[in-house]
Homo-oligomer: A and B are copies of this chain.
Amino acid sequence: MSPKITTELLKQLRQVMKSPKYVQEPVQAYIVPSGDAHQSEYIAPCDCRRAFISGFDGSAGTAIVTEQHAAMWTDGRYFLQAAHQMDNNWTLMKMGLKDTPTQEDWLVSVLPEGSKVGVDPFIIPADQWKRMSKALRSAGHDLVPVKENLIDTIWPDCPQRPCKPLITLDLSYTGVSWRDKIVALRSKMAERKVLWFVVTALDEVAWLFNLRGSDVEYNPVFFAYAVIGMNTIRLFIDGDRMMDPAVREHLQLDSTLEPEFKIQVMPYGSILSELQAVGAGLSTKEKVWLSDKASYALTEAIPKAYRYLTPYTPICIAKAVKNSSETEGMRRAHIKDAVALCELFNWLEKEVVPKGTVTEIIAADKAEEFRSQQKDFVELSFATISSTGPNGAIIHYKPVPETNRTLSVNEIYLLDSGAQYKDGTTDVTRTMHFGTPSAYEKECFTYVLKGHIAVSAAIFPNGTKGHLLDSFARSALWDCGLDYLHGTGHGVGSFLNVHEGPCGISYKTFADEPLEAGMIVSDEPGYYEDGSFGIRIENVVLVIPAETKYNFKNRGSLTFEPLTLVPIQTKMIDVNLLTQKECNWVNDYHQKCREVIGAELERQGRHEALRWLIRETEPLIRVQ
């Protein structure tokens, strides 16, 4: 990896920072955040502005360029990568280290008195603008919105914003029509006495209209906004996608509809002016509901007194609770995904053990190949983490030619992968050894497994937030002085983003919404030994009601049902470290894998993989 040479680019950027063509007054600093206008986790190539100006293309980082300096803030995952990808023009600001200044403090320390700091108001979330603007103002500077994105002005071959065809999802996939979703949304709006709701997150637009797209890799979403009134629906979307007869039919664009369900289609770029018009027309006590993560530009379009901001939107919360059509779809998707992985692991055993010719990249490609053979496969749900030996200890590893390692009988192999099927989204991690694991490797694996089971089998009252379960996953590791430095689980969309809010299982959050039946999260504790190996065991699990002996205050209880049905390598388990209850959990789980996935392998005529499955799901026997 050689760094990107940015001297000329920075010179150009500093010029436009002073050019009356783009800025009303010169700005002494310009901020380039990571995100897009929808605060997406995964972004399209045209939104990779921070990577363009700096060379650093990790998933998190903020660049700030002043007349004299260029600095990049990123976190511990990316210190090495950023240092490799950026040239000497850039100073790396290592977030999380004690002596690293915040962006605000740094700006205050380098800027001349009374400076202006510019930022694209569509890219910065409103809550972040507020914090930064306050800090700068108290030091005598101003944060100012720069309408035209200054990176775009110096990016001649900037990719086009994608505008790919849409997929319509019928009731058999979604369970609820978009009309009924609008009705439910309006009833939530009425409850909170708001007249308008602005949909800014891409997965929320996709979910609301039962549409999917492919504008962003891994996330089946499309660039759009929506503004829902009590009697109006406005969808802001570009391209000839609305000319597709299937889409017109789906959205009933050409039907005679009650006016409150008539969708007005408007250009993507007109959201701001339309929202400003809404804002201008409001009278006392009329409120507009936005996410507090919406962009500063859109938030500012609504006068402050009329804004109703919440951390989680009603769509985010409704989307998280899957209905029976969605959970059935997720089940189907996970069965197909398990078939692909049984094929893969069977193939790996045949290739790795005698030949030693399989690299991390080959294994990842093979996993994709097997998945793509399954019905309704669309794409991967994230970049496959295919890592062997020491690479497994790099939590966000993705194999590239420079790091690509060959699988062997001497190393642990960790595969974290998933796919988008039209009926659901998968995300599964298995950790395998193709030779003979050491006692220490088995010991660590077994602690991780105990943590996985502790969460998966946990029973907890209705209303419990996921962060309260996080320690269950760590307890067995803690007992021996071990731990892992990531959360235990995240929400998973239904043929949507593989990471979604508002629930999860992590010590880091507190403001997550309580778990409820129908929510789907991952359960993925791990253990990582730097320079040696990584272990992670991940299932996607569905929150379901639990039967309990008693029922305190009639609250009811919940537990999890694994949707992922892929064998957990018993060779890696030290059975004597398991309790009888844990041993039974593994055996019951494997019995279910054998029955459900076995039947599907049989149906698909995949007999060799079936034999592998049966061998891998032999019951554990615990010596008392």
Q: Which residues of A contact B (CB under 8 A)?
A: 138, 305, 458-461, 468-472, 475, 477-483, 507, 510, 546, 548-553, 555, 557, 579
Contact indicator A507/B468 (Cβ below 8 Å): yes
- Would you call A478 and B507 a contact (CB within 8 A)? no
Chain B residues near A481 (CB, 8 Å)? 459, 461, 546, 548-552, 557
Closest residue of chain B to A557 (Cβ to Cβ) is: B481
Cβ contacts under 8 Å, A460 to chain B: 471, 478
Contact between chains at A548 and B483 (CB < 8 Å): no
Which one of B477, B482, B552 contacts A482 once the chains associate, using CB atoms below 8 Å? B552
Ranked nearest first, the 3 interchain pairs of A and B with the lowest CB-CB distance are A481-B548, A510-B510, A481-B550
List 19 other contacts, CB 8 Å, given A471-B472, A477-B552.
A458-B478, A459-B478, A459-B479, A459-B481, A460-B471, A460-B478, A461-B478, A461-B481, A468-B470, A468-B471, A468-B507, A471-B471, A480-B549, A481-B546, A481-B557, A482-B550, A483-B552, A483-B553, A510-B510
What is the CA–CA distance of A507 and B478 in the complex, to the nearest angstrom? Answer: 20
Would you call A555 and B468 a contact (CB within 8 A)? no
Q: Contact between A548 and B480 (Cβ–Cβ < 8 Å)?
A: yes
Q: Nearest B residue to A460 by beta-carbon distance?
A: B478
CB of A472 within 8 A of CB of B470, answer no
For A479, list chain B residues within 8 Å (CB): 459, 548
Task: Give the nearest-CB partner of A507 in chain B.
Answer: B468
- Measured CA separation A552–B550 after assembly (Å): 40
A479 CA / B472 CA spacing, docked (Å):
13
Q: Which of A459, A478, A480 has the most CB of B within 10 A?
A: A478
Rounded to whole Å, the gap between the CB of A346 and the closest CB of chain B is: 34
Residues of B within 8 A of A549 (CB): 480-481
Docked Cα-Cα span, A468 to B475, in Å, equals 11
Q: Which residues of B contact A305 (CB under 8 A)?
A: 138
Closest-CB distance, A19 to chain B (whole angstroms) = 36
Closest partner residue, chain B, to A558 (CB atom):
B478
Contacts of A552 in B (CB 8 A): 477, 481-483
Determine the residue in chain B with the shortest Cβ distance to A479: B459
- 17 residue pairs of the A-B complex, CB under 8 angstroms, read A138-B305, A458-B478, A460-B478, A461-B481, A468-B470, A469-B471, A471-B472, A477-B552, A478-B557, A481-B549, A481-B550, A481-B551, A481-B552, A481-B557, A482-B550, A483-B553, A579-B579
User: Within the complex, what minimum Cβ distance (angstroms) separates A21 from chain B?
Assistant: 39
With both beta carbons as reference points, the residue of chain B lying nearest to A440 in the complex is identified as B550
A555 to B460, CA, bound (A): 30
Give, as a whole number of angstroms, the nearest-CB distance from A469 to chain B: 7
Partner of A475, one of B458, B510, B553: B458
Specify which chain B residues have a CB less than 8 angstroms from the CB of A468 in the assembled complex. 470-471, 507
What's the least CB distance linking A485 to chain B, in Å?
8
In the complex, chain B residues whose CB is within 8 Å of the CB of A548? 479-481
Complex alpha-carbon distance, A80 and B199, angstroms: 45
A552 to B528: give the CA distance in the assembly, Å. Answer: 10
What B residues does A483 contact at CB under 8 A? 461, 552-553, 555
Contact of A480 among B470, B507, B550 (CB under 8 A): B550
Chain B contacts of A553 at CB under 8 A?
Answer: 483
**Taking the nearest CB of chain B, how far is it from the CB of A467, in angstroms?**
9
Q: Which residues of B contact A458 (CB under 8 A)?
A: 475, 478
The chain B residue with its CB closest to the CB of A528 is B552
A51 to B550, CA, bound (A): 40
Inter-chain CA distance A470–B475, complex, in Å, is 12
Closest B residue by C-beta to A468: B471
Residues on the B chain within 8 Å of A557, using CB: 478, 481
Bound together, the chains give a CA A469 to CA B507 distance in angstroms of 11
State in angstroms the CA–CA spacing of A458 and B474 once bound together. 11
- What CA separation (Å) do A326 and B472 show in the bound complex? 33
Minimum CB–CB distance from A577 to chain B (whole Å) comes to 12
Residue of chain B at shortest CB distance from A305: B138
Distance A483 CA – B553 CA, assembled complex (angstroms): 9
Chain B residues with CB under 8 Å of A579's CB are 579
Closest to A469 in B: B471
- Distance between Cα atoms of A482 and B548 in the complex (Å): 9
Nearest chain B CB to A442 CB, angstrom units: 14
**Shortest beta-carbon distance, A333 to chain B, in Å?**
30
A574: min CB distance to chain B, Å: 13
